[in-house]
Amino acid sequence: MRFFTRSDPAPAAPAAPAAPAASAGYDALGADEVLAHLRDLKPVALAKLADHERAHQNRAAVVAGIDALLGNEPWAGYDALDVTGVRAGLEAAGPDRLLTVLAYERAHRNRPEVVLATQQHSHPGPGGDAHA
């Protein structure tokens, strides 16, 4: 089974529910290239790709993107939180959590206040400290 390589025009569907194994070209793809194709994959392929990614390169942006598309909350109870609750959860967030929240929020509720708060934590204003 394979997911996609640089020469593929679109991601390939998994051939069978066998053990995850990405093509040799997958690991040469940049995170942006992988992220550009995630929405084209079915949940089964996303789950297998997540296993492969975690076992090999474990790129936070790729894992966060996959988890968001699979509907995995950034933390337990996240979906029940209002904007204030999410902001409180971001206070001590590291770069991986910020990526996860941003990807999840964009894929689901896409609340401008949450997206902005996540970006502000990632990129400080004048005189601020970034968590990323």
pLDDT averaged over the chain?
A: 82
Same domain, 63 and 101: no
Domain count, the chain: 2
Identify which of 74, 55, 76 has the alpha carbon closest to the alpha carbon of residue 64: 74
Q: Determine the pLDDT at residue 3.
A: 57
User: Cβ distance 53 to 33 under 8 Å?
Assistant: no
Same domain, 113 and 86: yes
Q: What is the residue range of 105's domain?
A: 78-122
pTM (two decimals): 0.69
Chain mean position to CA 10: 19
Q: Determine the pLDDT at residue 4.
A: 55
Token pair of 128 as six digits? 């601020």
Report which of residues 54 and 27 the model is more confident about: 54
Compute the average pLDDT of residues 84-111: 94
pLDDT band of 81, cuts 50, 70, 90: very high
Same domain, 42 and 103: no
Compute the average pLDDT of residues 101-105: 95
Quick check: is 130 in a domain?
Answer: no
The Cα–Cα gap between 114 and 132 comes to 17
Compute the average pLDDT of residues 21-43: 87
The Cα–Cα gap between 106 and 69 comes to 10
